[in-house]
């Protein structure tokens, strides 16, 4: 038995709470107006599972970070806190109510085992059961990265090494494997639940060119021609110099998980690290950036 903690606040407040609770619980889910289980426009709900003994620590950490944000002038109120007892299997089962076969971009169809949907000749099929990891293709940030990947492929890019940082369900790594079957791909996440979920989905899709690793971005991973990162802006910005070290000269970094109002901040951070912003795409409240290392 687990305790499910839900913190409902503004989108700005949710980013702060999610970063804090992810360190305590190993992973969180963020629900906003664009997700399958939707929050109200302008609001977001951070959902985390923890042991009953850890509930007070998790709630105190959320209260502390929101208090600091208030003092700094950030808009976080009103805050609504809910807790309940939950079985871990519920997280998997709830997706079956909402997640259906979905067309993404020009040539991808993402479908779960419980809904095969319909396909066209030439489609890339991704068989995906998300489990306890982000990434079904339904969120705009995932779609933005896949669209940027398709754009690279259409321009003739043939990367030899690809990094999917913060791989979640593994959807971006699988998409990269479909677009670039000769590439060697590394899927990395700091949450072992996510890399386990990626491994399951790689096996389900018969993808053998992707290696998974539970870790954070580091120089020991080597360098990559293309780096995919669907991660929050407050995590991306300080990592920009590390992205530079991990990116081959002439390589590309495809970023999302960025709210439209945060896009300039991320572009400036990556520009300061040496990258050139070559493309920006927006979908609803979310932005995707393609940056190149000259």
Model confidence at 104, pLDDT cuts 50, 70, 90, reads: confident
| 56-to-27, 64, 251 alpha-carbon distances in Å | 17, 12, 45
Q: In what order do the strands lie in the sheet containing 210-214?
A: 210-214, 184-189, 161-165, 224-230, 247-259, 286-292, 276-283
Q: How does pLDDT run across 189-232, given as a tens digit for each residue?
A: 988 888 998 999 999 999 999 999 999 998 789 999 999 999 98
Model confidence at 133, pLDDT cuts 50, 70, 90, reads: very low
Q: In whole angstroms, give the CA distance from residue 32 to residue 285.
A: 10
Q: What is the pLDDT of residue 89?
A: 64
pLDDT at position 115 over 70: no
Q: What is the pLDDT of residue 248?
A: 97
Q: Which residue has the higher pLDDT, 85 or 243?
A: 243
Interval 172-177 mean pLDDT: 96
pLDDT above 90 as % of the chain: 61
Q: In whole angstroms, give the CA distance from residue 14 to residue 22.
A: 12
Q: What is the pLDDT of residue 240?
A: 97
Biggest CA–CA distance in the chain, Å, is 56
pLDDT above 70 as % of the chain: 89
Mean pLDDT check: name the lowest of 95-99, 101-105, 152-156, 204-208.
95-99
Mean pLDDT check: name the lowest of 3-12, 13-22, 60-69, 135-144.
135-144
pLDDT at position 124 over 70: yes
Whole-prediction pTM: 0.71
Q: In whole angstroms, give the CA distance from residue 128 to residue 167.
A: 13
């Amino acid at each position: 038995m687990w305790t499910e903690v839900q913190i409902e606040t503004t989108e700005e407040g949710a980013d702060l709470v999610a970063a804090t609770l992810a360190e305590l619980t190993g992973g969180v889910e963020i629900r906003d107006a664009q997700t399958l289980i939707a929050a109200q426009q302008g609001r977001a709900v951070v959902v985390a599972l923890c042991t009953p003994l850890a509930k007070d620590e998790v709630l105190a950490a959320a209260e502390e970070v929101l208090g600091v944000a208030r003092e700094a002038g950030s808009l976080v109120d009103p805050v609504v806190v809910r807790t309940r007892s939950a079985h871990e299997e519920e997280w998997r089962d709830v997706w079956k109510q909402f997640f259906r076969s979905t067309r993404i971009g020009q040539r991808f169809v993402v479908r779960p085992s419980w809904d095969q949907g319909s396909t066209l000749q030439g489609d890339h099929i991704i068989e995906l059961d998300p489990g306890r990891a982000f990434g079904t293709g339904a969120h705009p940030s995932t779609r933005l990265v896949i669209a940027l990947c398709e754009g690279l492929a259409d321009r003739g890019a043939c990367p030899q090494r690809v990094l999917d940082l913060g791989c979640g369900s593994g959807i971006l790594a699988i998409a990269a494997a479909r677009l670039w079957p000769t590439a060697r791909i590394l899927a990395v996440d700091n949450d072992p639940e996510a890399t386990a979920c990626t491994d399951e989905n790689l096996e389900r899709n018969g993808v053998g060119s992707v290696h998974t690793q539970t870790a954070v971005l580091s120089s020991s991973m080597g360098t990559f021609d293309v780096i995919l990162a669907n991660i929050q802006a407050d995590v991306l910005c300080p990592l920009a110099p590390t992205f530079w070290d991990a990116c081959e000269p002439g390589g590309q970094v495809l970023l999302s998980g960025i709210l439209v109002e945060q896009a300039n901040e991320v572009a400036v951070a990556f520009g300061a690290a040496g990258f050139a912003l070559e493309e920006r795409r927006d979908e609803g409240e979310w932005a995707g950036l393609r940056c190149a290392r000259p």
